[in-house]
Amino acid sequence: MSGQDGIGEPPGAEVIEAIARATIARLPAAFAAHLHDVVLILEEYADGETLAALGIEHPLDLTGLYHGRPLGEKSSMDSGGLPDRIHLYRRAILDEWIDTGVRLDDLVAHVTIHEIGHHFGLSDDDMHALEDAVDVSAP
């Protein structure tokens, strides 16, 4: 499901979401067990408030974002807040896909795992190791 099977309409949100969910399904059980309450949200672009808060000028410069507190910072006293969320921004992902030539499934997996890594408070090296553990090309 690379999304690069020919010229035509750009992949819709349902394609990006399916790749992201397949990526999550392939995570090692130790990670997957802690993602049930994390909400996956697909949007066309990040909103202006989000971009301003991050100091990002152009919406195509943000492919994904984690909103929440990393697991290691949570407390049993936490209550009443919004659930942790992973936002994937379709148009920015498609722009990067076109610019880089990376397979769409690999790119979406990379962005998804990067945001999941923030949920766990992982370093960039740990995120890359987790990405290597997930075989996005598997059926």
Tens of pLDDT, residue by residue over 70-90, are 766 655 556 667 788 999 999
Give the mean model confidence (pLDDT) for residues 113-133: 83
Section 58-62 average pLDDT: 96
Q: d(Cα 66, Cα 122) in Å, to the nearest integer? A: 12
List strand residue ranges (DSSP E) for 36-135, in order.
39-43, 64-67, 85-89
Average pLDDT of the residues of the chain: 85
Strand-by-strand arrangement of the 64-67 sheet: 39-43, 85-89, 64-67
Rounded to whole angstroms, the Cα distance separating 94 from 108 reads 9
